Structures are given as structure tokens and as C-alpha cells.
Structure 1
Amino acid sequence: MRDYNLMRNMLVFISNDGERALNDFCHFGDVRSVGKELSRLREDGLIDSDMSFEPEYNGGRVRGLTAEGRAFVRDIENDIVWELIRKTIDGSGLDLSYPLLKKVCETIVEHYVMSKIPEI
């Protein structure tokens, strides 16, 4: 199952401008888990990268977030909102595809924002 905290932390890290090489991600864990997540982020269309791990690491780089990635990070970067999202997706026990994950996150963000509207 996907480590959603790793996903979020890597996306926020990548959102800080600048190209990144594999060694820039070493603080996130072992090469296997980092490589797996970077591959998935690339396949989901969230990062601009020529990095590949099949059949072995090719020395590529992560150039940054795509427009889709930047939009998604805006939904998940707030710590309070992320905790609500994380509890929800962890509670499901499912490995969500990106389209469904995005929909869940957007729904939670919408509910969170709507709950802040004052009574008139």
C-alpha cells in the first residue's frame, strides 16, 4: 500500500523550486521506497521527471511539479487539512489511484472550507 505521508512530503519538497537528483531524496528513506514513489508520482502526472528505476536507476532528475502536481499540493500542503485527509485514506485501507485520491482530497478540502463559513 502507498505511504501517503511519503507521497505528500516528497511533493511538498519537490514544490520548492530547483532540479533534484536521487541523492536529494535520501532523507525520505531507502532508494527502493523513494524510487517507487517517484515513479508513481511521475506516472500520475504530478512531477516532471526523466528519472527511471527500471531496470535500474538511470541517473535522471526531477525538474519540478507539473501544473497538476502544483494544484494537488495546494490541496494537501496545509497540516490540519492533511491530517483529515490522511486519517480518511488510511482508514479506508485501500491503495487509491490518483484520480480517486484527488477526488477524496478535494472533497475533504471543500468540507473543511465550508465548515469555516460563519452562521448568518
Structure 2
Amino acid sequence: MIEQEQVLDALRAVYDPEIPINVVDLGLIYGVEITADGDVTVRMTMTAPQCPMSGYLLQQAEQGVRTVAGVRNVKVDLVFDPPWEPSMIKEDALKSAGILTDTPANPVEGDCSTEK
């Protein structure tokens, strides 16, 4: 039997070309269903409904899932409910991409946000 974690691991190899974070950690995978026969359905969204890379990402996701041993058929459903938002990105992914650091930003002298 195929495990959900195997499918998610395969999807972690798929990166949004505009954001250096894989589709799982980016929060684009909304669900994975696996039948006993090896059919896999992935519910996936995009960062925006008009994403120019949606076709590419859907194709890459399907190809990635096909690499899992025992997978017979793959269906990737594109959904937009609930809408994706940046808070869905895993914090560890933001840190490893260099987008978020553990140290608070140092206020810049003269910056309006530091004035009292």
C-alpha cells in the first residue's frame, strides 16, 4: 500500500520556479487520496488563480507522484478553495530559503517605524 508520506515526499521535489520552496512546504497541496489499487488524487492550488506556471506545476506534480512505487494512476485536481495565502508557507521553508531569519531585523535609524 502506498503511504501518503511517500506521495508528499515525491511532491517535495517539485518547486515553484518563482519561489525557491517546494509545493508541499509552500502550502499548495490541500490533500492526497490513495486507493488500494494505487490510484492517487492530489488536491492542489496555486499561489494565484492567474499563475502563469500552473500548467507546468500540475505536470511536474503528476510526474513526481508517478515516481512512487505502486502508483497506477495519478490525477491532480486544481482547486482554489480555500484561496492560498502566504501564511500557508511552512516557517522552516521560509528560513531555508533565506526569506525569514531567527534574528529580528535591526531598526534603521531614521526609519519611521522606530520613531516614538
Taking structure 1 as the reference length, the TM-score comes to 0.30
When you count helix as a share of all residues, which structure comes out higher? Answer: 1
Return the index of the structure with the highest Cα Rg: 2
Structure holding more strand per residue: 2
- Normalized against structure 2, the TM-score is what? 0.31
